[in-house]
Structure 1
Amino acid sequence: MKRKMIVLFIPLLLLTGCLEKEILDDVNIITVAGYDMEGSDQIKGTVVIPVYKKDAPVESEIIEDTTSLEVSKDILTHLQRKSSDPLVLGKMSVAIYSEEIAKKGLTTLVDTLQRDASVGSRVYLTVGRESANSIMKAKFGNRGAAAYIANLIRHNIENRDMPKTNLHIFIYDLYAKDSDPYLPILKKGESDTVVLDGLALFKGDKMVSEIPNEKLIFFKLIADKYTEGTYSLQLPKKELAAVKTIFSNRKIEVNKNDPTKLTIKVKISGIVQQYTGGMITPKIKSEMEKAFEKEIINESKQLIEQFKETDIDPLGIQDLLESRIRGFGKKEWKEIYPKLSVEIKPEVMITETGVID
């Protein structure tokens, strides 16, 4: 029995000896990384490092450095030269790429993250309307840049209009060849804070278009599972109603006999949060539902036309057709996409109209 126990414990001792130990006090933990163009042939890297002091709020240290585009993968090596302790990426939660870099292509910089085993797949990748450096120097209060930006994106994915996205999803869409990725856009708002400013759309690894904030609800309805969000409607008699969606689901139906025809069915349950008229009668409730359905049809079709004009497929329709139609491939997709006709069939149900009833 003793021999068996010795045999069991020896591998454990060997395994623990192979682990690389990092003591928190001996390393600088990067929580946010940013990338900007400097001129035409250089890239500027910026990182945020939390500084912990006893009985004091967490402060942030910012380290920045510039290197040539050819060695942009080694930007961390250049930043190491300015850090008092080794820089590590294990706790990074946000990466910000300036709009200029996003339009040139993100493959090289994102590849650096996905090949680092210490970087989690749930890191939020974002595009900066201004330079990443200036966004990282905004005011974030006691929470710091990483927590503030990560919570901002997470909240808008779970409870508002932002579709789900992170490093894992971006990499999957980037290399899938039958869908195109998208990323949230950040910008500086009032009082030097940071806010969301729409969704960047990519063709491969290059940003080619975008969706503004007010249109995101329609993209999320046809692209993703939706939870909460509020949309303002104008009714036939010019009354205004704010409808909050509490649940939605979408289903895409393929016509196997004619792949140029597609149907997207969207079901929505919502409640009325605000209404500028009087009592909400069953007739008015029906008008609200029809008005919302009309908006979904018009706005969704406009988005799909935008995708066709820029030859991108953020909805992953090509992947869907390839999985449903035997022999359908890239060649067939290129032929039918310009002619693709998408019918939007929304079904809106308002379940509550407020205590005024």
Structure 2
Amino acid sequence: MNLKYIVAFGLVITSLLINVSMPSKVIDKINMITVSGYDKAEQNRIKETVVAPTYLEQGTVEDHVYTTSADTVYGNRVKLNSKASEQLLNGKLRVAFYSEELAKQGLKTPIEFLTRDTSIDSNLFLAITKVPAVELINTVKTKKGKGVYFEDLFEHNIIHGNLPDVSLKTFEDSLKGETSDPFLPMFGIEGETAKLESLAFFKDDRLVDTLPITQADVFKMLYENVGDGTYQYKSDDYNISVENMESTRKITAEKKNGSPEMTLDVRMTGVVREYTGEQVMDQKSKIETDIAQDFTEKANRIIKSFQELNIDPLKLEDFFKSKHRSYNQDQFKEDYSDMTIKVKADMRLTGTGTRR
């Protein structure tokens, strides 16, 4: 019996000695990057800026910002680590920014760095910056850390604003799938904060057009179902603000005379929060018709601009492919610019708010 205890004790001591001698990454000797930004640099190089926070006592955060330039993103990471006192790792990366100038050249190569790193979450947020990415990152001042701040900014605008659901995964899927084109949010600067300014649309991996975020409510409802949106309408007779907007999108596709014809049916409900006309309930039917017509006109303009640019961020080709065995990619792309794409909208007001 005593011999068994002696053997067990010996095994424990041996295990401890082995673990002590094995190389390992000591937590105190690494620093997790939360934000990265990429800009075009001179001589066709790429500039990378990263944020690595240190968590101090009483919940305070100190952000360390490092910037280098190199021929490749991988080359930048070697240089960045030479500046940091701890090893910089990507495991907590929350947001990656790319400058507008870089996005116009194409983002396939810079983004491959992220997709090849298995420690990076595929739900990582991506965005374009109207100013250099390094300027945006350095300008923002926040006590909760830049990584948390930017992540919260994305989530708030996705849940309650005009930003559709976007991530590294959705961007990569659009590039690989070849049946849709990606889009990303574009941020600028206002004071010491970041401001969501527009949606940036891509043809393959190159930025080709933008849509002001104030008009992106229509695109979002064409792109996906919305659970908590807003809508503003202005006419000669009245102004109205509708909140708690919920919408569902249904796409139908058929062939007429050998060519695809698509219809997007958007059904919306919402609550009046502000109204400048007469009693809203007396004008309810007219207001619903006005908003539905306004939505349809804006949607048609947006879709027409997509057709002129020959881009498909609404994933219409992807939908047609899933529904029609006769789908031919070359034929669909040839037909797309002149394709009949209809929008039907229905609006129902479910409550009234203030009147002034």
Normalising by the residue count of structure 1, what TM-score does the alignment of the two structures yield? Answer: 0.89
Q: Which residue of 1 is the match for residue 8 of structure 2?
A: none
**Offset from partner CA, 1:275-328 (integer Å, 9 cap, x none):** 11232233x111111111111111111111111111110011111111222231
Whether 1:202 and 2:202 are equivalent positions in the alignment is yes
1:112-191 matches, cutoff 5 A:
112-189=113-190, 191=191
Indicate conservation of the 8 Å contact 2:130/2:188, yes or no: yes
Q: 1:347 to 1:320 in 2, by over 3 A?
A: same
Q: Which residue of 2 is the match for residue 62 of structure 1?
A: 65
Q: Which residue of 1 is the match for residue 234 of structure 2?
A: 234
Sequence identity, in percent? Answer: 31
Indicate conservation of the 8 Å contact 2:275/2:354, yes or no: no
**Deviates further, 218-227 or 139-148:** 139-148
Q: Which residue of 1 is the match for residue 351 of structure 2?
A: 352
For residue 229 of structure 2, what is the amino acid of its counterpart?
A: G
Q: 39, 57, 67: which is aligned to 1:36?
A: 39
Q: 1:351 to 1:53 in 2, by over 3 A?
A: same
Distance 2:334 2:244 in 1: 37
Indicate conservation of the 8 Å contact 1:293/1:347, yes or no: yes
Distance 1:20 1:184 in 2: 42
Q: Which residue of 2 is the match for residue 3 of structure 1?
A: none
Distance 1:220 1:20 in 2: 50
Q: More strand by proportion, 1 or 2?
A: 2
For residue 161 of structure 2, what is the amino acid of its counterpart?
A: R
Indicate conservation of the 8 Å contact 1:181/1:203, yes or no: yes
Distance 2:253 2:43 in 1: 46
Indicate conservation of the 8 Å contact 1:233/1:288, yes or no: no
Shift of 1:92: 0.4
Distance 1:40 1:277 in 2: 59
Q: Which residue of 1 is the match for residue 193 of structure 2?
A: 193
Indicate conservation of the 8 Å contact 1:256/1:324, yes or no: no
Indicate conservation of the 8 Å contact 1:201/1:207, yes or no: yes
Shift of 1:232: 1.9
1:78-97 matches, cutoff 5 A:
78-97=79-98
Q: 1:73 to 1:329 in 2, by over 3 A?
A: farther
Q: Unaligned 5+ residue runs, structure 2?
A: 1-14
Q: 1:129 to 1:305 in 2, by over 3 A?
A: same
For residue 221 of structure 1, what is the amino acid of its counterpart?
A: M
C-alpha RMSD of the superposition: 2.1
Q: 1:96 to 1:106 in 2, by over 3 A?
A: same
Shift of 1:246: 2.8
**Offset from partner CA, 1:34-59 (integer Å, 9 cap, x none):** 11111241211110010222236211
Distance 2:59 2:234 in 1: 51
Indicate conservation of the 8 Å contact 2:274/2:354, yes or no: no
1:264-283 matches, cutoff 5 A:
264-282=264-282
Distance 2:348 2:212 in 1: 26
Indicate conservation of the 8 Å contact 1:140/1:148, yes or no: no
Distance 2:326 2:278 in 1: 57
Q: How many residues align?
A: 337
**Offset from partner CA, 1:2-25 (integer Å, 9 cap, x none):** xxxxxxxxxxx9xxx8x9953331
Shift of 1:106: 0.9
1:299-318 matches, cutoff 5 A:
299-318=298-317
Shift of 1:159: 1.4
Q: Which residue of 2 is the match for residue 9 of structure 1?
A: none
For residue 63 of structure 2, what is the amino acid of its counterpart?
A: S
Distance 2:354 2:23 in 1: 61
For residue 172 of structure 1, what is the amino acid of its counterpart?
A: D
Give SS of 2:310's match.
Answer: coil
For residue 263 of structure 1, what is the amino acid of its counterpart?
A: T
**Offset from partner CA, 1:212-235 (integer Å, 9 cap, x none):** 112100100111121222222124
Shift of 1:29: 0.9
